């Protein structure tokens, strides 16, 4: 029974450690501090044990973290180790746009029914529009939004005198259509 216990104890010790060393490994060199890649025990003074072996552990290789690795991109990922071609960039692009003039009606009861007089001709204005463009690594646009606008030339309203001013919002669509036709076909 004692022999079985001693045998089990020795077996357990061998299973727990991966160092297969005889007695006195590195004992004259300050003790064992590690295992070399070649499978020899490394002593505290930096020498290798000539007789004691070990199983070198393989260092774990960290998994790649995919993401945008370009620091100039708007979605740069500082933790990414491998570029996944997802980088997005932004730039401001200028454009011009027309500002359409509005028509203002003034009621003048001295005018005949359906008569109209243009007092001031409407003039379209212009504005400079700054767009924030988002594009990918292949320079394909993926998004566009207005960043800000600057009025270069304001529009001038067209002022028209008419016999009767309609409140178009209070009329149904058919009545609005007929009222507009009566002004168009004078």
Strands (E), 62-157: 66-67, 82-83, 88-99, 103-107, 116-120, 125-136, 141-153
Phi, psi of 79 (to 5 degrees): -95, -5
pLDDT of residue 26: 81
Can you tell me the distance from the alpha carbon of 43 to that of 3, in angstroms, rounded to the nearest whole number?
Answer: 34
Instruction: Give the alpha-carbon dihedral of 8, 10, 11, 15, to 10 degrees.
Output: 140
Pair of tokens at residue 156: 């001038």
Task: Say if residues 90 and 72 touch (Cβ distance below 8 Å).
Answer: no
Pair of tokens at residue 91: 């730039």
Domains and CATH numbers, the chain: 19-56 (no CATH), 66-184 (2.20.230.10)
Task: Say if residues 69 and 82 touch (Cβ distance below 8 Å).
Answer: yes
pLDDT in tens, 60-114: 677 899 999 999 999 999 999 999 999 999 999 999 999 999 999 999 889 888 8
For the question of whether the overall pTM of this predicted structure is more than 0.75, the answer is: no
pLDDT in tens, 123-175: 999 999 999 999 999 999 999 999 999 999 999 999 999 987 665 555 455 55
């Amino acid at each position: 029974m004692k022999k079985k216990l001693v045998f089990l104890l020795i077996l357990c010790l061998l299973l727990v450690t991966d160092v297969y060393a005889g007695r006195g490994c590195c004992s004259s060199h300050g003790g064992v501090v590690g295992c070399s890649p070649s499978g020899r025990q490394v002593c505290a003074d930096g020498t290798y044990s000539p007789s004691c072996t070990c199983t070198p552990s393989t260092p774990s290789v960290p998994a790649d973290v995919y993401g945008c690795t370009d620091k100039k991109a708007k979605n740069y990922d500082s933790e990414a180790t491998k570029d996944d071609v997802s980088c997005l960039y932004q730039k401001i692009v200028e454009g011009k746009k027309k500002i359409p003039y509005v028509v203002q009606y003034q009621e003048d009861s001295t005018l005949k029914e359906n008569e109209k007089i243009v007092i001031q001709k409407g003039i379209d204005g212009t504005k400079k529009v700054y767009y924030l463009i988002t594009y990918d690594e292949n320079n394909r646009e993926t998004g566009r939004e207005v960043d800000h606008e600057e009025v270069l030339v304001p529009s001038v309203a067209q002022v028209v005198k008419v016999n009767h001013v309609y409140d178009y919002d209070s009329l149904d669509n058919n009545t609005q259509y007929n009222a507009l036709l009566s002004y168009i076909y004078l």
